[in-house]
Amino acid sequence: MASLYVGDLHPEVTEAMLYEKFSPAGPILSIRICRDKITRRSLGYAYVNYQQPLDAKRALETLNFDVIKGRPVRIMWSQRDPSLRKSGVGNVFIKNLGKTIDNKALYNIFSAFGNILSCKVACDEKGPKGYGFVHFQKQESAERAIDAMNGMFLNYRKIFVGRFKSHKEREAERGAWARQSTSADVKNFQEDTDDGATLR
């Protein structure tokens, strides 16, 4: 069995619609749209399970970013192990993206560096927010992407590409920076006042 995650679904997409879209790639074992336990409303993503990995691969390669009910769907291999998803290994953060860069464009740009497990441009109700994430299968692919793309111009904008850092890592860095700058300020203040000058 091979499982695909299908995200960014319109709330009215049904299992039957997904079956119609995904079955040409090969025999399907099951399709499950994830729903709120109380309201039964779609959560905007589903799992499509194929009998054969080659059929799932074909669906991923041919249907990724296809439009269903007016929305391009995002397909990736299902990663059920949360520790792998959250580890940050192979994960790249990209910022200063132009408004024209969507999930498909980001995928097309970064797929040159290796196999992509997931790719997402952050959006709100107004559209793209100017940053995104690419999760590579291998850390080496992520490093190649960072080396090649950091500081490059994409649609006339200089982009930053770096290793993804978890909220916890960013907070720890901010704390270390704050402690460092506070002790430096105190040290400089003491040096400035040790010369015997009086304050008025």
pLDDT at residue 140 is higher than 90: yes
pLDDT at residue 171 is higher than 50: yes
* pTM of the predicted model as reported, rounded to 2 decimal places: 0.67
Q: Which band of pLDDT confidence, cut at 50, 70 and 90, is reported for residue 22?
A: very high
Instruction: Return the pLDDT at 118.
Output: 87
> Domain 2-77 classified CATH 3.30.70.330?
yes
100, 34 in Cβ contact below 8 A? no
Domains 2-77 and 82-167 share a fold: yes
Instruction: Return the pLDDT at 126.
Output: 87
40, 114 in Cβ contact below 8 A? no
**Domain spans, the chain:** 2-77, 82-167
> Domain 82-167 classified CATH 3.30.70.330?
yes
